[in-house]
A and B are shown apart, each in its own frame.
Chain A
Amino acid sequence: MLSGFMTDTWIVATAVAVVAGVVGFFTVVRGSSFVAHAIPVGAFAGAAGASLIGVSTLVGLGVFGAGGAVAIALLGRRSRHDVATALALVVMLGLGALFLGMSTEYAPEIYALLFGEVLGIGANEVGPTLALASLSLLVIAAVYRPLLVSSVLEVSSRSRTRRSSAMELVFLLVVAIVTTMAVPVVGTLLIFTLMVAPAGAARLLADRPHRAILLSVAIAVVTVWISIAASYLTNWPVGFFVGVGGAVAYALARIGSSWIGPHARLDRATS
């Protein structure tokens, strides 16, 4: 499990977990689970398109992820957010159906894209993953305060200023970056679990944003490590352990927080 060829897997997976934990905090505060699901799944269509024209999968994921982010931000200005997200998702998947209909991809490769294939992570993926991870962490660090403020305000007042829609776009683009780097590890269908469950659990236990972010990162990293180890031992898909592990972490946090006392302070401030 700790042998040479697994080293790259551990590095990539840890980077993905750290970034997903940080981004996940904002996902949960903004109530954007649907977006965190829609962008990766829509980006799956990009991967299918990339294999059709013979480009790298990462390029397809990146282009469709970013395109989806922009589309959701644009559509979301004039209508309900969940409606805009749903429409962007189905349009991207419609294109994906078209690409898949024309290509001759084998089912196992598509399955790996959907549910992840950690054993297939090679040394050439470490560089791009670390670069994308640092990029998304830098972006979040740069806009940390305004992003936090807009995330909290978005919920309480539903007011949409120019500034908050700019923050919206930044957040969506960061989700697109996470998508691009996380696909080899957990697959398009389960990336959002890594962004929602650890952060949801952390928010139940910690009241201050910093603490919640650190806790969310810690839970995400532990979940991913356990998942990879378990997947290595059983040969079952990583996605299973990540999805169920996230739910278990959340359930434990629910039990824990009911001992600590009713809702954390941040929760009270935002609702």
Chain B
Amino acid sequence: MADFVSLVFAPGFFESGPVASAVVAGGVVAAVSAVVGVFTVMRGQSFAGHALSDMGTTGGSGAFLVGVSPLWGFVTVSVVAVAAMELIGIRRPRGRDVATGIVFGAALGLAALFLYWDTTVRNASGAAMTILFGSLFTVSSSTVPIVVVLAAASLALVLVLFRPLLLASTSSDLASARGVPVRLVGIGYLLAMALAVSLSAYTIGAILSTALLVGPAATAARLTKSPLSAMLCATALGVVAVLAGIVLAYDSYGWPPVGHGWPVSFFVVTLIFVFYVLAGIPRRWRSGHTGTDLSTTDAPRRAHLVHGLVGKR
């Protein structure tokens, strides 16, 4: 047994400070992203989710330029971006795509400029790389409490909005007929997503942020029937992927090329993708049956979901 433990966890794993911070921050971000992500997948807003995490670059580089903490830059930019997308027309599914694209493009353009100024004026290069590919192991122990607090805020917002949000996400017509302020609920949800996603982009990089938002939720949508079990399943999958990724990345310091270590993002993303593909296999056996997918566009399935929601009121 002891041999097995030392085979899986390389020596020093449990004593390492960076590993402890990575486990706490990664676990919290994975759990919140998974819960928020269930709605992202249902509402088809993966693009907005990814855009919000990438746009953090603008806030981060801008804040660096004026000398404020990057965290404020992230939060400010994501809130402004949500307002801009809403203003251009994120409500209609068609306009949404273009609205997100244009706000995203303008923000990335600004990021390019800020990063240029950062490198010329303040002589700091590679900020874009940190944002895109940032590593879990670089999370400092002092940011962990901030991560936990903001993640809890995002989670609380989603839970407060839970029922109206679910109804608005499955059938916005029915929701507005029942007096749910669909637009307001949508903005509230975008804010929760912006908070969760920009936080994770700030701490662990945009790749992992998007992967943790969409991957576990999409996998859970393939496996479970109700929104609540999808959230639990997604949380479990996300946390397992992050923890296993951390263990593998820690072990990889002993792999070739020696002393280099493989990036933790690579392992987490690969695991999430493997889960997603594996979850699709059982469905292939039950030929023609697609009814378990929460993200389905299949009308009877949606009607069933809506019926369950409205009936309980």
Chain A residues engaging chain B, CB cutoff 8 angstroms: 28, 31-34, 36-37, 78-80, 82-83, 85-87, 89-91, 93-98, 100-102, 107-108, 110-111, 114-115, 155, 158, 187, 189-190, 192-193, 196-197, 200, 236-237, 239-247, 250, 254, 270-271
Contact = CB atoms under 8 A, between A and B. Distances in A.
Given A80-B41, A87-B215, A97 B101 contact: no
A36 B50 CA distance: 13
B269 A200 contact: no
B189 to A, nearest CB: 16
Given A94-B211, A98-B266, A33 B112 contact: no
Contacts of A240: 109-110, 112-113, 116
A31 B269 contact: no
Contacts of B304: none
The 10 A-B pairs at the shortest CB distance, nearest first, are namely: A243-B109, A193-B105, A94-B269, A33-B101, A247-B106, A239-B112, A34-B47, A196-B101, A82-B46, A240-B113
A192 B108 CA distance: 11
Contact of A114 (B128, B266, B297): B128
Contacts, number: 202
Contact of B293 (A79, A108, A187, A197): A79
Contacts of A197: 101-102, 105
Interface in B74-115: 88, 92-94, 97-98, 100-113, 115
B2 to A, nearest CB: 31
B212 to A, nearest CB: 9
Nearest to A83: B218
A104 to B, nearest CB: 11
Contacts of A94: 207, 211, 263, 265-266, 268-270
Given A83-B41, A85-B46, A86-B47, 8 more contacts: A31-B98, A78-B283, A94-B265, A98-B262, A115-B128, A200-B98, A237-B113, A240-B116
Nearest to B92: A271
Interface residues of B, number: 65
- Mostly, the A contact residues are helix
A107 B218 contact: no
B94 A243 contact: no
B313 interface: no
B33 interface: no
B126 A82 contact: no
B101 A200 contact: yes
B276 A110 contact: no
A82 B47 contact: yes
